Structure 1
Amino acid sequence: MIASGSDAGSRQGDAGPRPARLDVGVVSAGRVGSVMGAALAAAGHTVVATSAVSRASRARAEALLPDAEVLPPDEVVRRADLALLAVPDDVLPGLVRGLAAAGCLRPGQILVHTCGSHGVGVLGPAAEHDVLPIALHPAMTITGRAEDVTRLSGACVGVTANSTPTEDAEAAWLVGEALVVEIGAEPVRIPEEMRPLYHAALAHGANHLITLVREAADLLRDAGIEPAERVLAPLLSAALDNALRLGDRALTGPVVRGDAGTVATHLRHLDARAPESAELYRALARRTAERAHGNGLIGDDEFTAVVETFERHTP
């Protein structure tokens, strides 16, 4: 639970001054909102209300936020000391403007959103009501299931608060970091202007990793190999572990060996049997060659041979 008073600074590793237990309102009970709300409840706060329109969001609210009353968004925020806005990035600006116009915000209220690409600038209309604006984005894939609450523990959460160097701005940073620490995660400060790049990095890594894995599984099934996942699991698990530990030195395969003949064979078969995958293979293989060459893993001759292979084998 968030400590208050003199207890706040007495713990080793404390993120800073912490408010007392909070009444939390969640807008809305989507995948992220329901899981973040449940994590805050597990940390000792009380989720008093949530908004939920679809059947799926109502089911998540019932499962993960059982004590929360389902209310319209403005009523959820009106009841909350901490209002958690967990809506899609493109929806957030309009929601904030609507809440600011509805008169449901009050001075001293903590207003948090969970969008990855936005900082706190998007909360500007609400900040005029003297709320404490914070952006918290969990760097974790969230499906909206109970196990996601556990997964948050040990994950990183991107924290952004006001970039203006004032006492109130620093308080917002510290409150945001304290909330992250309470749910068992690790806070990482993300400057306002770097939020889009931060979010692009996460989306590029996580979302495109899933796409790549499924593409590889489809190709194995096209080759008559079942179960494809059993073949891929040890290989991809080792590759991910090596990439995180060793960086570009973890690269293996025909591109890094400068084996242009094998690359050409791959392209011929992919063009004939899976042209959609061939386009992705070309893009990733070229980027792999550029990274390997830039890091001295392959020489100029090998790099040139691989690149010329892409140019010769263009459908």
Structure 2
Amino acid sequence: MSGPGRDGRLGVGIIGAGKVGPVIGSALAGAGHALVGITSGSDDDRVEAILPGVPVLAADEVVRRSELVVIAVPHDELAGLVAGLAEVGAWQPGQLVLHTDAAHGIAVLEPALRSGAIPLAIHPAISFTGTSIDLRALSQGYAAVTAPGPVLPIAQALAVELGCEPVVVADADRPAYAEAIATATEFSRSIVRQAAGMLTRLGVENAGGYLSALVRSTVDQALAEGTPPHRDPLGPDATIDG
């Protein structure tokens, strides 16, 4: 593994080929970084459409080739994956290791840290579709960032390169942060599905389309009413403390 170039360009490897990993890879490539590989997933054709020509590699090989490793796997798989890669000696000193899980902070990356890697946690607060549509959503969204103090600016800078405004979330507050995210997403989906089902039973065709403008305008109004005054996301007060 060679160090980053003078222009700050990194060799980026992606572990996780679901809805999140390929999109994160595409955003980082758009910011000028070089993609060195991605692990295989259940839909390699979709991944190829988002990341054309990027090699498909085993996870340990992705790690060995990368200066920045992005881990975008299901919550329950993250700890075992990080520990397993430590057992085979894959992690490297000075390597950036970034996961995208909402609930985990940097403690889950401890096995990589023991090998000298630099732990970062960045959760973009959008609902991923796994397509290029997500790149626009990233550019309009925020990302929760957690990292040790000396390397927090690196996490913030990577969030900006994804297109997001970074908001610092303390490591101990990640579970509460994840609960807030889950509440917003699951409640929204549940209510919309319930309302659409009621309209469908009344004979309304395309109930989702019928509700679209109403739901979007209502959510926009609720967000405007419930959002505190804007603060500089990179300023000293830009934290979520629980």
Any gaps of 5 or more consecutive residues in structure 1? 6-18, 163-168, 249-315
Cα distance per residue 1:222-280 (max 9 Å; x no partner): 122233234322322221122111239xxxxxxxxxxxxxxxxxxxxxxxxxxxxxxxx
Matched, 1:96 2:85: no
Partner in structure 1 of residue 208 of structure 2: 229
Pair 28,151 (structure 1): closer, same or farther in 2 beyond 3 Å: same
- Which of 30, 35, 53 does residue 42 from structure 1 map onto? 30
Letter aligned with residue 41 of structure 2? V
Once the two structures are aligned, what percentage of the paired residues are identical?
A: 42
- Whose relative contact order is higher, 1 or 2, with alpha carbons under 8 Å and at least 6 apart? 2
Letter aligned with residue 169 of structure 2? I
Supply the distance in 2 between the matched residues of 1:247 and 1:186 (Cα, whole angstroms): 19
Supply the distance in 2 between the matched residues of 1:156 and 1:207 (Cα, whole angstroms): 19
Letter aligned with residue 22 of structure 2? S
Supply the distance in 2 between the matched residues of 1:97 and 1:223 (Cα, whole angstroms): 53
Indicate the RMSD between aligned Cα atoms, in angstroms: 1.8
- Which of 147, 158, 161 does residue 179 from structure 1 map onto? 158
Matched, 1:159 2:145: yes
- Which of 117, 124, 134 does residue 148 from structure 1 map onto? 134
Supply the distance in 2 between the matched residues of 1:231 and 1:39 (Cα, whole angstroms): 33
TM-score for both structures, normalised by structure 1:
0.68
Q: Decide whether the 8 Å contact of 1:34 with 1:60 is kept in 2.
A: no
Partner in structure 2 of residue 105 of structure 1: 91
Cα distance per residue 1:1-49 (max 9 Å; x no partner): xx987xxxxxxxxxxxxx7100000001211000000000000001111
Supply the distance in 2 between the matched residues of 1:90 and 1:184 (Cα, whole angstroms): 27
Matched, 1:75 2:58: no
Q: For residues 47-58 of structure 1, what are the structure 2 equivalents within 5 Å?
A: 47-54=35-42, 56=43, 58=44
Q: Decide whether the 8 Å contact of 2:143 with 2:166 is kept in 1.
A: yes
Any gaps of 5 or more consecutive residues in structure 2? 228-242
Letter aligned with residue 153 of structure 1? S
Letter aligned with residue 52 of structure 1? S
Letter aligned with residue 47 of structure 1? L
Cα distance per residue 1:155-194 (max 9 Å; x no partner): 10110013xxxxxx32x21101011112221101010111
**Structure with more helix by fraction:** 1
Letter aligned with residue 196 of structure 1? P
Q: Decide whether the 8 Å contact of 1:158 with 1:187 is kept in 2.
A: yes
Cα distance per residue 1:136-172 (max 9 Å; x no partner): 111000010011122211210110013xxxxxx32x2
Match of 2:103, SS state, is coil
Q: Decide whether the 8 Å contact of 1:77 with 1:105 is kept in 2.
A: yes
Offset of residue 130 of structure 1: 1.0
Match of 2:215, SS state, is helix
Match of 1:24, SS state, is strand
Supply the distance in 2 between the matched residues of 1:78 and 1:4 (Cα, whole angstroms): 17
Partner in structure 2 of residue 25 of structure 1: 13
Q: For residues 188-227 of structure 1, what are the structure 2 equivalents within 5 Å?
A: 188-227=167-206
Q: Which structure: larger Rg?
A: 1
- Which of 102, 110, 121 does residue 116 from structure 1 map onto? 102
TM-score for both structures, normalised by structure 2:
0.88
Partner in structure 1 of residue 120 of structure 2: 134
Cα distance per residue 1:90-137 (max 9 Å; x no partner): 100000001111111111000000111000000011100111100011
